[in-house]
A and B are shown apart, each in its own frame.
Chain A
Amino acid sequence: MRGGGPPTRLGRARLGLTRLVSETGEGLRIALSSLVSNTLRSFLTTMGIVIGVMTVIAIVAIIDGLNQSFATQVGGLGANTLYVSKWKWISSGNDWWEMRNRKDMGRAEFEAVSREASLATAVAPFVSLDATLTSDQAELTRVRVRGTNEDYQIANGVAVAAGRFLSAPDVELSRSVLVLGPNLADKLFPGVPAEEVVGRRLRVLGRPLTVIGVQARRGRLMGLDLDSEATLPWTTFLRDMGAKRTISLAVSAEPDKVKALEDQLVSILRRVRRVPPGKPDDFSVNRQEQMRRLYEQLTGALYGVAVGVGLITLLVGGIGIMNIMLVSVTERTREIGLRRALGARRRTILLQFLVESSLVSLLGGAVGTALGFGVASLLALTTPLAAAVTPGAVALGLGFSAVVGLLFGSWPAWRAANLDPVEALRYE
């Protein structure tokens, strides 16, 4: 430079870049040495950020986990299936009495729908109760026992791991057979492989039944263990366990015909149940989608709260960082003056303090992310809540903390950069 010819534009750009690199490197060195020499202070400063990021990560991980398991569970319900019942799945408290007083659904409704619903690809009745199951090895109380027909497999997407599902003859002949959920098979016949459970006998409410199949695993749906169900022909169910129970119908259609099917079902059922024109339906047509909507409302609110709490904590953490950075600027006033005297530009000082504040914040974010995962995994292990750690959540946690560091560090850094070098050098 000095003594040489005028620098070329490329040369200047390269010099500017190496200067930026060496200044950033110096900034990092300063930040690290100040972190190390003020360990306790740095630790306390980052606590706000740590807690904020930890909260957000943990909650987001839990919500993501719930979302994932919900998606797979709801998938098992059959997206193109309508569930016709006396009960509405999702209702406000006021509807309860009205629904309770509705007429039960029974064979007449099932037969009318099977006969007349031309858009239906499967019509499965189902009826259920909680009963005690007894094998020669174990006794299980309060098991969900469901009566249905062969179409239930199509409508609800049930797969069989061993043996077979209910068949039409099973239903027509009211055979004393049942299909077990995998958890039931494990508990009733401990140590027996699924293939060998098929053919075993057990008792439901004292009545003997033969196992013809074991279901494949499905997981849980909103707290319901889908793998702990016993399924038998509904005709057998009604014969042996009480004919007066209300039944529901699962009716499937081609994906683009679900809406039309709903209309068809409503008109069939209104006629069969003799609902006068102008009166509301005395039955409900439910869809998986409704459950999803309710679920999304719930988790959406939770998400909002989590983000709100997290933001407030980060704000508090950010103020902590700003405070400590202001202290740091004051403490290092003379050093700033010296650096300015030795040729540091304002921008360089600004960069130095921004690097420091975002490093502190980023460290807090990293620790918070790790702790958040820890909390989420602990919850996943010890409670039925699922937790999934997504790269998005990590990026969110780290990104947010870095932004907080930059944002709240910018005022102290600006103050540092605008110190008068003469005054700063003289500062005691």
Chain B
Amino acid sequence: MSGPLISIDRLSRHYEVGGELVRALDGVSFDIVKGEWVAIVGQSGSGKSTLMNLLGCLDTATSGTYRLNGADVETLSDDKLADLRNKEIGFVFQTFQLLPRATALANVELPLVYRGLPRRQRREMAESALRSVGLSNRMHHRPNELSGGQRQRVAIARALVGEPSILLADEPTGNLDSQTGEEIVRLFGELNTRGHTIILVTHEAKLAARCPRAIKLMDGRILGDGPGAEVAALQAARAVGT
């Protein structure tokens, strides 16, 4: 594939809250190529959630362009956006967002249901996704029968199962203890070495520092974009400097 997987140019998202214009995201530009592992880091209110929603095709920008895998996201209809999410994005949420009454297998199958795949194929793909996150012996358990780390693994399997272009993880370790969080981060590293493109949205500088690349947001603008450790350090220096 030629060209970047994600290409963002002067992307802005403005809201009107109580008659006041909020520039949640204000002219952000960057590219991400296939196989990268990028952290989007920032404090709450920095615009990282807004950016994540835009990258995840859940929301559309006020101005600017977003090209994902060659598609001009801003011009797409609601249905096309849904299809794009289904095909190109694998979401991992802080609160796992698993269906409580469904087994791990059924949860992982869900994106394939919306792709219209036949049951047998869904089953096979979901099983292999669960195996790839190390849950081959937990396929028929319901979320309440699983530990937090296992739940997040199910969610990651669900994100992987459709073979998306991007794994988009929103504070994936936020609801986990540090040891389990560490396991999940290692799993992401492993997935990245297997060729998956990963975007990890977090407020933890420590986590961002471990990513090969980090984009630091503040007040809706990019504060820094570079190797994770550097961006984290830079941010610290600035914080001290001001």
Contact = CB atoms under 8 A, between A and B. Distances in A.
Contacts of A345: 78-79, 82-83, 114
Contacts, number: 82
B114 A348 contact: yes
A345 B118 CA distance: 18
B117 A23 contact: no
B101 A33 contact: yes
B53 interface: yes
A339 B114 CA distance: 9
A416 to B, nearest CB: 14
Contacts of A421: 58-59
B191 interface: no
Contacts of B102: 33
A113 B53 CA distance: 97
Interface string A200-217: 000000000000000000
Interface string A332-365: 0011001111111111100000000000000000
B241 interface: no
Nearest to A26: B113
B85 A342 contact: yes
Interface in B110-147: 110-111, 113-119, 122
Interface residues of A, number: 30
Contact of A339 (B89, B110, B116, B162): B110
A15 B115 CA distance: 9
Contacts of A422: 53, 58-59
Interface in B67-87: 78-79, 82-83, 85-87
Interface of A: 1-2, 15-16, 18-23, 25-26, 33, 37, 334-335, 338-348, 421-422, 425
Given A18-B116, A37-B101, A338-B93, 10 more contacts: A18-B118, A22-B116, A23-B113, A26-B113, A341-B56, A341-B89, A342-B91, A343-B82, A343-B114, A422-B59
Closest 5 CB pairs of A and B: A343-B86, A19-B116, A343-B114, A345-B82, A342-B111
26 contacts: A1-B87, A2-B163, A15-B116, A16-B116, A18-B116, A20-B116, A22-B119, A33-B102, A338-B93, A339-B114, A340-B82, A341-B58, A341-B85, A341-B91, A342-B86, A343-B85, A343-B111, A343-B162, A345-B78, A345-B83, A345-B114, A346-B79, A347-B79, A348-B82, A422-B58, A425-B58
